[in-house]
Structure 1
Amino acid sequence: MFNHKLPSDFPMQTLRKKTSPCKYKNEPGRFLGEGVSFRAKLIGVLEVPEARGDRMCQEALADLKMAIRAAGEHKQRIQVHVAIDGLRLRDDKTGDSLYHHPVHKISFIAQDMTDSRAFGYIFGSPDTGHRFFGIKTDKAASQVVIAMRDLFQVVFELKKKEVEMAKQQLEGKILPMRTHVIPISDPKIPKVKT
């Protein structure tokens, strides 16, 4: 082996992987409209007995993967849209909406312990039953899972504000809002002189 020594006055720099700061973190606006989009494949859908459970999700994901392999079929290419109105799974070729799942009916998210690009979530209610959706992403599944977590936080904060506004209205502290507030700094809107 080579044994090289650097001179003591040699400038040393710590090499770091350059990472751009997450420009979307804590920005609720990113979930408006179509929301944040991810390319993926639908592994499959499976009825599950419970609304929650990591072990159950891992088993469901393994069952779906085995069924796809046994059938010798290709997984359907999809786009996963994480938006304020929920999760939307669209066919990658046609753009048709395959599934739309409102946030309040998604009860559990689990990443695959054996595959960093796979995850799944449980959708449903006690009345209609629960279904597990297995998805394999083009990139790390953690990106989608983190986006979903951020979306849940945004929806929670919006709901909290809505409850607070309703509470204040009941107490008579504020008048009901009947108009939308538009920021004055918006260049598209003409300024009104008073």
Structure 2
Amino acid sequence: MNRAFSRKKDKTWMHTPEALSKHYIPYNAKFLGSTEVEQPKGTEVVRDAVRKLKFARHIKKSEGQKTPKVELQISIYGVKILDPKTKEVQHNCQLHRISFCADDKTDKRIFTFICKDSESNKHLCYVFDSEKCAEEITLTIGQAFDLAYRKFLESGGKDVETRKQIAGLQKKIQELETENIELKNKVQDLENQLRINQIHTSPAGSVTPKSPSTDIFDMVPFSPISPQSSTPTRNGTQPPPVPSRSAEIKRDLFGAEPFDPFSCGAGDFPPDIQSKLDEMQRQRWLVYHILISILH
């Protein structure tokens, strides 16, 4: 495996082996982005990638976009690139897919590594900006490679295959979790839509018939006749009904006996007079219902 760093026997690493094999080393940096490269290694390859991404970042900065900050988690299994706030994994670069790693000797803040994408099999160069830790991050990745290589020799290559299988299973689990979240959202949307439809749509056959006691304006007709009082007297007996001029004659809204030309015989009035009376009767009932609606 060709790397931009050499394994020296007297190399003094910055971290304990347990920190990288059982845990990870976190670093904060600015992520300039990633771009496809033609070769899996080479100083000139990463230098061209850095120039390209620096120019693209300069354009975005002139448009008001800030360089995003990321958290790097380095271990013997790879380099994870996460959102520093949400801890969401943006890229998971497995160590056995990283073919080159180096810091920029002309710009001490810049460091890069080339990783082969697991889906497209393209070589991508990742470029980062760290004002104080660029060289340290590069050395930490080098230490992770050294420990992984030693573990590879001790296990006879079996450990690498195991990590590959674990990485594949982790990717599958992540895909299933994403699919599960999408399905839950769809189910929730369908339940909300069904609830809305039930509110706005009445069940079949549940149309409430209009009450026969209401008039054409859907209001209870006004009756000038008060109901007979049922208040008992002191001795508990009901008072006798007040005699009226006619118990069956009802008075209208104006206190007069209703005029009903239809109660007369057909031959009581001439046709022209009867027609006028009919028109008066219709107008009278119209005024009557308008007054009722106003009073109510």
TM-score past 0.5 threshold: yes
Matches within 5 A, 1:1-194: 25=14, 27-72=16-61, 73-124=65-116, 128-163=121-156
CA offsets per residue over residues 70-103 of structure 1, 9 Å max, x none? 1222111001111122100111121111111111
Q: Is the contact between residue 110 and residue 128 of structure 2 (CA under 8 Å) also seen in structure 1? A: yes
State TM-score, norm by structure 2.
0.45
Moved more, 156-165 or 49-58: 156-165
Look up the SS of the partner of 1:154 in the other structure.
helix
Tell me how far 1:59 sits from its aligned partner: 1.2
Aligned to 1:20: none
Whether the 8 Å CA contact 1:58–1:110 is kept in 2: the answer is no
Q: 2: distance between equivalents of 1:24 and 1:56?
A: 27
1:114 positional shift? 2.5
CA distance in 2, matches of 1:46, 1:103: 18
Q: Give the number of the structure whose residues are more often strand, by fraction.
A: 1
Aligned length: 145
Ranges of 4+ aligned residues in structure 1 off by more than 6 Å: none
For structure 1, which runs of at least 5 residues remain unmatched after alignment? 1-22, 167-194
**3-state SS of the aligned residue for 1:88?**
strand
Deviations along 1:89-133, one digit per CA (max 9) or x if unpaired, are: 111121111111111100001212322111111000697110000
How big is each residue's C-alpha offset from its partner over 1:112-167, in whole Å with a ceiling of 9 and x where there is no partner? 2322111111000697110000011242311001001110000000000001899x
Higher RCO (CA-CA < 8 Å; seq separation 6+): 1
Q: Which runs of 5+ in 2 are unaligned?
A: 1-11, 160-296
* AA aligned opposite 1:114: T
Give the greater-gyration-radius structure (CA).
2
The percent identity for this pair of structures is 22
Supply the AA of the counterpart residue of 1:44: G
CA distance in 2, matches of 1:69, 1:164: 44
Q: Which amino acid aligns with 1:48?
A: V
Structure-1-length-normalised TM-score:
0.68
The 3 A distance-change label for structure 1 pair 165 and 81 is closer
Structure with greater helix share of residues: 2
RMSD, aligned α-carbons: 2.5
